[in-house]
Homo-oligomer: A and B are copies of this chain.
Amino acid sequence: MSAPSPNEQLYVGVELCASSARAALVNPAGEVLASREAALAGGDLAPQIARLVSELRDSAPAPARAIGVGVPGLVNPQTGRVVISSDIPAVVREDLRAALAQATGLPVALDNDANAGALGEYAAGAGRGSRNMFYVTIGTGIGGALILDGRLWHGASGFAGEFGHITIDPEGIECTCGNVGCLETVASAPNIVRRTHERLMRDSTSSLSRLGLNKNFTAADIAHEARGGDDFAAMMMARTGRYIGTAIAAVINLLNTERVVLGGAVMDAGEIILDPIIQEARRRSFQPNFESTQIVAATLGHDAVPIGAALLARDAAQQGG
Protein backbone atom coordinates (compact mmCIF):
# COMPACT_ATOMS: atom_id res chain seq x y z
CA MET A 1 0.00 0.00 0.00
CA SER A 2 1.40 3.38 -0.97
CA ALA A 3 0.24 6.79 0.23
CA PRO A 4 -1.72 8.42 -2.58
CA SER A 5 -1.23 12.05 -3.48
CA PRO A 6 -4.41 14.13 -3.08
CA ASN A 7 -4.58 14.47 -6.88
CA GLU A 8 -4.37 10.77 -7.59
CA GLN A 9 -7.37 9.33 -9.43
CA LEU A 10 -8.91 6.50 -7.45
CA TYR A 11 -11.43 3.88 -8.53
CA VAL A 12 -13.75 1.55 -6.66
CA GLY A 13 -13.78 -2.11 -7.68
CA VAL A 14 -16.58 -4.36 -6.46
CA GLU A 15 -16.79 -8.15 -6.47
CA LEU A 16 -20.34 -9.39 -6.31
CA CYS A 17 -20.83 -12.90 -4.89
CA ALA A 18 -23.92 -14.99 -4.19
CA SER A 19 -24.46 -13.61 -0.67
CA SER A 20 -21.85 -10.90 -0.19
CA ALA A 21 -20.00 -8.09 -1.92
CA ARG A 22 -16.46 -6.84 -1.51
CA ALA A 23 -15.37 -3.35 -2.52
CA ALA A 24 -11.85 -1.99 -2.77
CA LEU A 25 -10.43 1.46 -3.35
CA VAL A 26 -7.78 1.04 -6.02
CA ASN A 27 -5.23 3.39 -7.54
CA PRO A 28 -4.45 3.45 -11.27
CA ALA A 29 -1.51 1.10 -10.72
CA GLY A 30 -3.87 -1.55 -9.40
CA GLU A 31 -2.91 -1.22 -5.72
CA VAL A 32 -5.61 -1.67 -3.05
CA LEU A 33 -5.70 1.28 -0.63
CA ALA A 34 -8.69 0.12 1.43
CA SER A 35 -11.40 -2.50 1.24
CA ARG A 36 -14.74 -3.43 2.80
CA GLU A 37 -17.04 -6.41 2.68
CA ALA A 38 -20.76 -6.73 3.40
CA ALA A 39 -23.38 -9.46 3.38
CA LEU A 40 -26.13 -9.00 0.81
CA ALA A 41 -29.79 -9.20 1.78
CA GLY A 42 -32.66 -9.95 -0.61
CA GLY A 43 -34.12 -7.23 -2.83
CA ASP A 44 -32.34 -4.86 -5.20
CA LEU A 45 -28.58 -4.98 -5.14
CA ALA A 46 -27.81 -1.43 -6.28
CA PRO A 47 -28.74 0.32 -2.99
CA GLN A 48 -26.76 -2.24 -0.98
CA ILE A 49 -23.67 -1.86 -3.15
CA ALA A 50 -24.07 1.93 -3.13
CA ARG A 51 -23.97 1.85 0.69
CA LEU A 52 -20.78 -0.22 0.66
CA VAL A 53 -19.18 2.12 -1.87
CA SER A 54 -20.24 5.16 0.13
CA GLU A 55 -18.56 3.83 3.30
CA LEU A 56 -15.41 3.22 1.33
CA ARG A 57 -15.48 6.70 -0.20
CA ASP A 58 -15.88 8.28 3.23
CA SER A 59 -12.50 6.86 4.22
CA ALA A 60 -10.82 7.63 0.88
CA PRO A 61 -7.82 10.00 0.79
CA ALA A 62 -8.93 11.30 -2.63
CA PRO A 63 -12.24 11.26 -4.53
CA ALA A 64 -13.17 8.10 -6.41
CA ARG A 65 -13.76 8.70 -10.09
CA ALA A 66 -15.68 5.62 -11.23
CA ILE A 67 -16.94 2.22 -10.08
CA GLY A 68 -16.36 -1.17 -11.66
CA VAL A 69 -18.34 -4.28 -10.73
CA GLY A 70 -17.43 -7.92 -11.39
CA VAL A 71 -20.58 -10.06 -11.58
CA PRO A 72 -20.84 -13.87 -11.53
CA GLY A 73 -22.74 -14.16 -14.80
CA LEU A 74 -22.84 -13.29 -18.48
CA VAL A 75 -22.89 -9.56 -19.17
CA ASN A 76 -24.09 -8.13 -22.47
CA PRO A 77 -21.48 -5.51 -23.32
CA GLN A 78 -23.89 -3.54 -25.52
CA THR A 79 -26.61 -3.06 -22.92
CA GLY A 80 -24.49 -3.48 -19.78
CA ARG A 81 -27.16 -5.85 -18.48
CA VAL A 82 -26.54 -9.19 -16.79
CA VAL A 83 -28.03 -11.84 -19.10
CA ILE A 84 -27.60 -15.01 -17.02
CA SER A 85 -26.37 -15.53 -13.46
CA SER A 86 -26.73 -18.92 -11.81
CA ASP A 87 -25.29 -17.50 -8.55
CA ILE A 88 -27.52 -14.40 -8.33
CA PRO A 89 -30.54 -15.11 -10.56
CA ALA A 90 -32.33 -11.92 -9.40
CA VAL A 91 -29.63 -9.62 -10.81
CA VAL A 92 -30.95 -10.32 -14.31
CA ARG A 93 -34.09 -8.28 -13.54
CA GLU A 94 -32.15 -5.28 -12.25
CA ASP A 95 -30.39 -2.65 -14.40
CA LEU A 96 -27.52 -2.70 -11.93
CA ARG A 97 -25.25 -0.42 -13.92
CA ALA A 98 -27.81 2.36 -14.33
CA ALA A 99 -29.16 2.07 -10.78
CA LEU A 100 -25.71 2.10 -9.18
CA ALA A 101 -24.65 5.08 -11.31
CA GLN A 102 -27.74 6.98 -10.20
CA ALA A 103 -27.30 6.06 -6.53
CA THR A 104 -23.62 7.06 -6.42
CA GLY A 105 -23.35 9.80 -9.04
CA LEU A 106 -20.37 7.97 -10.55
CA PRO A 107 -19.93 6.19 -13.89
CA VAL A 108 -20.24 2.42 -13.53
CA ALA A 109 -18.58 -0.32 -15.60
CA LEU A 110 -19.94 -3.85 -15.36
CA ASP A 111 -18.31 -7.07 -16.50
CA ASN A 112 -18.16 -10.77 -15.78
CA ASP A 113 -16.20 -11.55 -12.60
CA ALA A 114 -13.71 -13.82 -14.38
CA ASN A 115 -13.01 -11.01 -16.87
CA ALA A 116 -12.40 -8.62 -13.97
CA GLY A 117 -10.17 -11.16 -12.20
CA ALA A 118 -8.18 -11.70 -15.38
CA LEU A 119 -7.60 -7.98 -15.79
CA GLY A 120 -6.53 -7.73 -12.13
CA GLU A 121 -3.97 -10.54 -12.39
CA TYR A 122 -2.80 -9.24 -15.77
CA ALA A 123 -2.17 -5.71 -14.56
CA ALA A 124 -1.05 -6.31 -10.99
CA GLY A 125 -0.60 -10.04 -10.37
CA ALA A 126 0.68 -13.24 -11.95
CA GLY A 127 -0.01 -12.01 -15.49
CA ARG A 128 2.38 -9.06 -15.37
CA GLY A 129 4.83 -8.99 -18.24
CA SER A 130 2.66 -11.07 -20.57
CA ARG A 131 0.62 -9.85 -23.55
CA ASN A 132 -1.50 -12.97 -24.02
CA MET A 133 -2.92 -14.60 -20.97
CA PHE A 134 -5.58 -17.14 -20.14
CA TYR A 135 -7.10 -16.80 -16.69
CA VAL A 136 -8.99 -19.58 -14.94
CA THR A 137 -10.81 -19.37 -11.66
CA ILE A 138 -11.81 -22.63 -10.00
CA GLY A 139 -14.15 -22.49 -7.03
CA THR A 140 -17.86 -23.22 -6.66
CA GLY A 141 -17.96 -22.83 -10.44
CA ILE A 142 -15.24 -22.58 -13.06
CA GLY A 143 -14.71 -19.37 -15.01
CA GLY A 144 -12.25 -18.30 -17.63
CA ALA A 145 -11.14 -15.13 -19.36
CA LEU A 146 -8.73 -14.17 -22.08
CA ILE A 147 -6.34 -11.28 -22.49
CA LEU A 148 -5.30 -11.22 -26.14
CA ASP A 149 -2.72 -8.73 -27.32
CA GLY A 150 -3.07 -6.78 -24.08
CA ARG A 151 -6.87 -6.50 -24.10
CA LEU A 152 -9.76 -8.42 -22.60
CA TRP A 153 -11.32 -10.64 -25.26
CA HIS A 154 -15.11 -10.49 -24.97
CA GLY A 155 -16.00 -12.34 -28.17
CA ALA A 156 -18.72 -11.64 -30.68
CA SER A 157 -21.43 -11.00 -28.10
CA GLY A 158 -19.53 -10.69 -24.82
CA PHE A 159 -19.71 -14.32 -23.74
CA ALA A 160 -16.14 -15.52 -24.32
CA GLY A 161 -14.25 -17.47 -21.65
CA GLU A 162 -16.77 -20.20 -20.76
CA PHE A 163 -13.94 -22.55 -19.86
CA GLY A 164 -15.93 -24.49 -17.25
CA HIS A 165 -18.25 -25.80 -19.94
CA ILE A 166 -15.65 -27.37 -22.19
CA THR A 167 -16.50 -31.07 -22.51
CA ILE A 168 -13.95 -33.25 -20.73
CA ASP A 169 -15.85 -36.51 -20.60
CA PRO A 170 -18.27 -36.95 -23.53
CA GLU A 171 -20.07 -39.66 -21.52
CA GLY A 172 -19.98 -37.76 -18.22
CA ILE A 173 -22.70 -36.49 -15.92
CA GLU A 174 -25.22 -33.73 -16.61
CA CYS A 175 -24.12 -30.14 -16.12
CA THR A 176 -26.34 -27.22 -15.09
CA CYS A 177 -25.68 -25.75 -18.55
CA GLY A 178 -27.49 -28.63 -20.29
CA ASN A 179 -24.35 -30.33 -21.64
CA VAL A 180 -22.87 -33.51 -20.16
CA GLY A 181 -19.30 -33.99 -18.96
CA CYS A 182 -18.28 -30.33 -18.71
CA LEU A 183 -15.04 -29.58 -16.85
CA GLU A 184 -17.19 -28.04 -14.12
CA THR A 185 -18.94 -31.39 -13.51
CA VAL A 186 -15.65 -32.91 -12.33
CA ALA A 187 -13.34 -30.11 -11.18
CA SER A 188 -15.37 -27.44 -9.36
CA ALA A 189 -15.19 -27.54 -5.54
CA PRO A 190 -18.62 -29.20 -5.05
CA ASN A 191 -17.77 -31.78 -7.71
CA ILE A 192 -14.40 -32.60 -6.17
CA VAL A 193 -16.37 -33.35 -2.99
CA ARG A 194 -18.95 -35.39 -4.93
CA ARG A 195 -16.28 -37.49 -6.68
CA THR A 196 -14.49 -38.05 -3.40
CA HIS A 197 -17.67 -39.24 -1.67
CA GLU A 198 -18.36 -41.62 -4.58
CA ARG A 199 -14.85 -43.08 -4.38
CA LEU A 200 -15.02 -43.44 -0.60
CA MET A 201 -18.23 -45.43 -1.00
CA ARG A 202 -16.99 -47.88 -3.59
CA ASP A 203 -13.26 -48.23 -2.94
CA SER A 204 -12.20 -50.26 0.07
CA THR A 205 -8.59 -49.01 0.00
CA SER A 206 -9.91 -45.54 0.63
CA SER A 207 -10.85 -46.63 4.15
CA LEU A 208 -7.25 -45.73 4.96
CA SER A 209 -8.09 -42.08 4.28
CA ARG A 210 -8.88 -39.71 7.12
CA LEU A 211 -11.62 -38.27 4.89
CA GLY A 212 -13.74 -41.35 5.66
CA LEU A 213 -14.07 -40.16 9.27
CA ASN A 214 -15.95 -37.00 8.34
CA LYS A 215 -19.16 -36.97 6.31
CA ASN A 216 -19.21 -33.21 5.76
CA PHE A 217 -15.80 -32.49 4.33
CA THR A 218 -15.18 -29.70 1.82
CA ALA A 219 -12.79 -29.44 -1.14
CA ALA A 220 -10.50 -27.44 1.16
CA ASP A 221 -10.53 -30.36 3.63
CA ILE A 222 -9.52 -32.77 0.86
CA ALA A 223 -6.66 -30.46 -0.10
CA HIS A 224 -5.65 -30.16 3.55
CA GLU A 225 -5.52 -33.96 4.02
CA ALA A 226 -3.64 -34.33 0.73
CA ARG A 227 -0.98 -31.89 1.87
CA GLY A 228 -0.83 -33.75 5.20
CA GLY A 229 0.17 -36.98 3.47
CA ASP A 230 -3.20 -38.71 2.90
CA ASP A 231 -2.61 -40.71 -0.31
CA PHE A 232 -6.28 -41.07 -1.17
CA ALA A 233 -6.91 -37.32 -0.82
CA ALA A 234 -3.76 -36.64 -2.85
CA MET A 235 -5.00 -38.94 -5.62
CA MET A 236 -8.35 -37.10 -5.75
CA MET A 237 -6.57 -33.74 -6.06
CA ALA A 238 -4.17 -35.11 -8.70
CA ARG A 239 -7.05 -36.48 -10.79
CA THR A 240 -8.80 -33.14 -10.53
CA GLY A 241 -5.62 -31.48 -11.74
CA ARG A 242 -5.45 -33.85 -14.70
CA TYR A 243 -8.97 -32.90 -15.78
CA ILE A 244 -8.11 -29.22 -15.58
CA GLY A 245 -4.82 -29.79 -17.40
CA THR A 246 -6.63 -31.54 -20.26
CA ALA A 247 -8.87 -28.51 -20.79
CA ILE A 248 -5.93 -26.12 -20.49
CA ALA A 249 -4.10 -28.09 -23.18
CA ALA A 250 -7.03 -27.37 -25.51
CA VAL A 251 -6.63 -23.65 -24.86
CA ILE A 252 -2.85 -23.74 -25.32
CA ASN A 253 -3.26 -25.66 -28.59
CA LEU A 254 -5.91 -23.33 -29.88
CA LEU A 255 -4.63 -19.93 -28.79
CA ASN A 256 -0.91 -20.38 -28.11
CA THR A 257 -1.20 -18.08 -25.09
CA GLU A 258 2.04 -17.19 -23.36
CA ARG A 259 0.75 -17.45 -19.81
CA VAL A 260 -1.99 -19.37 -18.02
CA VAL A 261 -2.91 -17.99 -14.58
CA LEU A 262 -4.93 -20.22 -12.25
CA GLY A 263 -6.88 -18.75 -9.35
CA GLY A 264 -9.92 -19.45 -7.18
CA ALA A 265 -10.39 -21.33 -3.92
CA VAL A 266 -9.55 -24.77 -5.36
CA MET A 267 -6.11 -23.50 -6.39
CA ASP A 268 -5.38 -22.66 -2.72
CA ALA A 269 -4.46 -26.35 -2.54
CA GLY A 270 -1.10 -25.33 -4.07
CA GLU A 271 1.37 -27.72 -5.69
CA ILE A 272 -0.72 -30.84 -5.10
CA ILE A 273 -3.08 -29.56 -7.76
CA LEU A 274 -0.85 -27.22 -9.80
CA ASP A 275 1.78 -29.89 -10.54
CA PRO A 276 -0.68 -32.42 -12.04
CA ILE A 277 -2.31 -29.59 -14.02
CA ILE A 278 1.04 -28.68 -15.59
CA GLN A 279 1.95 -32.34 -16.16
CA GLU A 280 -1.30 -33.13 -17.96
CA ALA A 281 -1.21 -29.90 -19.98
CA ARG A 282 2.30 -30.88 -21.12
CA ARG A 283 1.15 -34.37 -22.05
CA ARG A 284 -1.89 -33.16 -23.98
CA SER A 285 -0.62 -30.11 -25.79
CA PHE A 286 1.45 -29.62 -28.89
CA GLN A 287 5.05 -29.40 -27.70
CA PRO A 288 5.93 -26.01 -29.26
CA ASN A 289 2.72 -24.56 -27.84
CA PHE A 290 3.40 -25.96 -24.36
CA GLU A 291 6.97 -24.71 -24.41
CA SER A 292 5.92 -21.14 -25.11
CA THR A 293 3.44 -21.10 -22.21
CA GLN A 294 4.00 -20.53 -18.49
CA ILE A 295 1.35 -22.08 -16.24
CA VAL A 296 1.32 -20.33 -12.86
CA ALA A 297 -0.81 -19.75 -9.79
CA ALA A 298 -2.65 -16.45 -9.38
CA THR A 299 -1.11 -14.14 -6.78
CA LEU A 300 -3.82 -11.60 -5.88
CA GLY A 301 -6.25 -13.91 -4.08
CA HIS A 302 -9.50 -12.15 -3.15
CA ASP A 303 -8.19 -8.85 -4.51
CA ALA A 304 -8.08 -9.98 -8.16
CA VAL A 305 -11.71 -9.21 -9.01
CA PRO A 306 -11.99 -5.86 -7.14
CA ILE A 307 -8.68 -4.68 -8.62
CA GLY A 308 -9.67 -5.75 -12.12
CA ALA A 309 -13.14 -4.21 -11.75
CA ALA A 310 -11.53 -0.93 -10.67
CA LEU A 311 -9.24 -1.02 -13.69
CA LEU A 312 -12.26 -1.65 -15.95
CA ALA A 313 -13.78 1.49 -14.42
CA ARG A 314 -10.51 3.36 -15.05
CA ASP A 315 -10.40 2.25 -18.70
CA ALA A 316 -14.07 3.12 -19.27
CA ALA A 317 -13.59 6.54 -17.65
CA GLN A 318 -10.52 7.22 -19.81
CA GLN A 319 -12.29 6.15 -22.97
CA GLY A 320 -15.32 8.23 -22.03
CA GLY A 321 -13.00 11.28 -21.88
Contact = CB atoms under 8 A, between A and B. Distances in A.
Interface of A: 74, 83-84, 131-132, 144, 146, 148, 153-163, 165-170, 177-179, 246, 249-251, 253-258, 283-289, 292-293
A166 to B, nearest CB: 4
Number of copies: 2
| Best-buried of A163, A167, A257 by chain B (most CB within 10 Å) | A167
A153 B148 CA distance: 9
Given A168-B170, A169-B170, A254 B160 contact: yes
Given A132-B155, A146-B255, 18 more contacts: A153-B255, A155-B256, A155-B289, A156-B258, A156-B292, A156-B293, A158-B256, A159-B256, A159-B288, A162-B254, A162-B286, A166-B253, A167-B249, A168-B170, A169-B170, A177-B287, A254-B254, A254-B255
A54 B247 CA distance: 47
A136 to B, nearest CB: 11
Contacts of A287: 177-178
Given A155-B132, A178-B283, A255 B288 contact: no
Contact of A250 (B83, B157, B166, B285): B166
A198 to B, nearest CB: 18
Contacts of A153: 148, 255
Contact of A159 (B157, B251, B286): B286
A161 B284 contact: no
Nearest to A169: B170
Contacts of A253: 162-163, 165-166
A251 B250 CA distance: 9
26 contacts: A74-B288, A83-B288, A132-B155, A144-B254, A146-B254, A148-B153, A155-B256, A155-B292, A156-B293, A158-B256, A159-B292, A160-B254, A160-B256, A161-B254, A162-B254, A162-B256, A162-B285, A165-B253, A166-B254, A177-B286, A177-B287, A178-B287, A179-B283, A179-B285, A250-B254, A251-B254
A165 B286 contact: yes
A165 B285 contact: yes
A286 B285 CA distance: 24
A250 to B, nearest CB: 4
A149 to B, nearest CB: 9
